[in-house]
Structure formats: structure tokens, C-alpha cells
Amino acid sequence: MNTILWIAQSLLAAMFTSGGLLKIFVPKEKMIAKQPFVQDYSSIQIRLIGLAEILGAIGIIVPFATGIMPILTPIAAMGLCTIMILAIRIHVQTKETAKVVIIVAMVIITSFIAYARFNSL
């Protein structure tokens, strides 16, 4: 079970890191073509979402891996789950249903990580 959790955590961390870096470093104007939801938000809001995603990605790996405050791993997973639940609402409003399916899968996996890591403390 521990191996499955580490694989899931690593994949999610990679996904959230790449998405966060995209939101931080790519100008809003270039993102509109592939992510139409960004036109409803300021550049600062988009960058803050990206920063939250990167910090969450760090949080689901580092604390549990180092043994330093491992309680932060399930808390980070719950934070990422919250971000994804809010993303579902945004993508439904912009009629991006294909992305909603992926996001729901991420919510399920992230919730599983939060639950399993909290119970393993």
C-alpha cells in the first residue's frame, strides 16, 4: 500500500508542479487559447493559484518523506483537493467537461492520499 501511495503522490506532485509552473511563468494572454478560464481572472490570481499548486505538490512529498512534521502531508493533500473541487466549478462554467473528468479523478486520488497518510501517522 505504501508503494501505491508514493506512486500516486509522485504523479500528483508532478502534475501540480507542472500546472503551477505554467500558471506562474506563462503570460495570461498565451494561456487563454488552451485554458479559457484564465480570462476571468487577473494575472496575480492565476499566479497565486500556481503558487498554491506548487506548495501543495511540495507538501504531499517532503514532510512525509523526511519525517519532519508528517502531518503536513495529509493537510497538503486536503488543500490540493480543495483547489481541485473549486476547479471543477470553474471548468463546468466554461463547459470544459473533458477536464472535469480528469479533475474528479485527481480529487479522488488526492482524497485517498489524505485519508491513507493521516491514518498512517
Averaged confidence pLDDT in the chain: 95
Which amino acid, 38?
Answer: V
pLDDT digits (tens, 9 = 90+) for 54-91: 999 999 999 999 999 999 999 999 999 999 999 999 99
The pTM score is 0.93
C-alpha cell, 91: 471548468
Domain spans of the chain? 2-119
The Cα-based distances of 31 to 2, 26, 47, 53, 100 in angstroms read 37, 7, 12, 17, 18
C-alpha cell, 87: 476547479
